[in-house]
Amino acid sequence: MAASLAGFRQGLSEIGYTEGKDVTIDYVWARGRYEQLPVLAAELVRRQVTVIAATRSSAPALAAKAATSTIPIVFQTGGDPVNDGLVTSLNRPDGNVTGVTRLSNELIQKRFELIAELVPKATTIALLVNPANIAAKAQVQQMQEPTRERGLKFQVVNASSEAELDAAFAAAAQLHADAVIQAADQLFAGRRDQIVALTMRYAIPTIFFDRESVLAGGLMSYSASWSDSFRQVGAYVGRILKGAKPADLPVLQPTRFELVVNLKTAKALGIELSPSLLARADEVIEL
């Protein structure tokens, strides 16, 4: 989280704004409780904030969009903002909404390729999904074709609350999953320590959607750079504060991607990382 916020502030500073000097930032967190988003969005509208930055998934931005058609909204999502109903076009978003996509759902197939390379004898792959996430269906669809092409069994394990995470990994173990791919979801980001502990308890190699989970002891992650994505959001917020209209700012896509691996965790799981994979890693954690 610290790196993401630092990226956001960097983007603002690139446009000439410094928190506490030129602009005030109010931080509002739903902490993975999607049912709270409409209430939080309505409160921001009531307070007549100048810009709403809705980050980490499409859900906060959709709640904000439902709450106001006039206050500019800059989203950051891992999904397809057109399919999710945030904008009608990436190049020319209409209305009061624009933002940044990390392409997290599209990267599920890349994560599958990486975990399949790491566990070449795998016969069953599980995808951890939050069914309350509007992107859940698309996330599952991303996995169906590549696993079918390789002749692998594909299982979905669901968790929409902290309590259900334990059951999800127990189910993955009962299904004899050889590896788990984590779909992007704010609940999972907020419970990364719990999820990392579960991957170790059940000794299931897992690839995450965020670098912070690998720093917390997870095995591997592949994603667009979170800090750079937040920097893009901060820069768009700054441009809107300068007078730009969201409809004139095309939706940005990621330009930097990060493969992060944890050697200590790999050793604990009895996995040998190939020289080829290590050479491709942007960051190798050894502690």
Q: Mean pLDDT over residues 140-165, rounded? A: 95
Beta-bridge partners for 76: 100
Q: What is the CB-side half-sphere exposure of residue 147 using CA atoms within 13 A?
A: 25
Tens digits of residue pLDDT in 235-287: 999 999 999 999 999 999 988 899 999 999 999 999 999 999 999 999 999 97
Q: Check pLDDT > 70 for residue 208.
A: yes
Q: Closest Cα to residue 30, out of 22, 38, 42?
A: 38
pLDDT of residue 157: 98
Tens digits of residue pLDDT in 7-56: 999 999 999 999 999 999 999 888 777 789 999 999 999 999 999 999 98
Tens digits of residue pLDDT in 192-206: 999 999 999 999 999
Q: How far is CA 118 from the centre of its chain?
A: 22
Share of the chain above pLDDT 90, in %: 82
Distances, alpha carbon 4 to alpha carbons 106, 121, 225, 274, 286, in Å: 21, 36, 9, 30, 23
Q: How far is CA 43 from the centre of its chain?
A: 25
Question: Is the pTM here over 0.85, yes or no?
Answer: no
Taking each helix axis from N to C end, the angle separating 58-67 and 37-46, rounded to the nearest 10 degrees, works out to 50
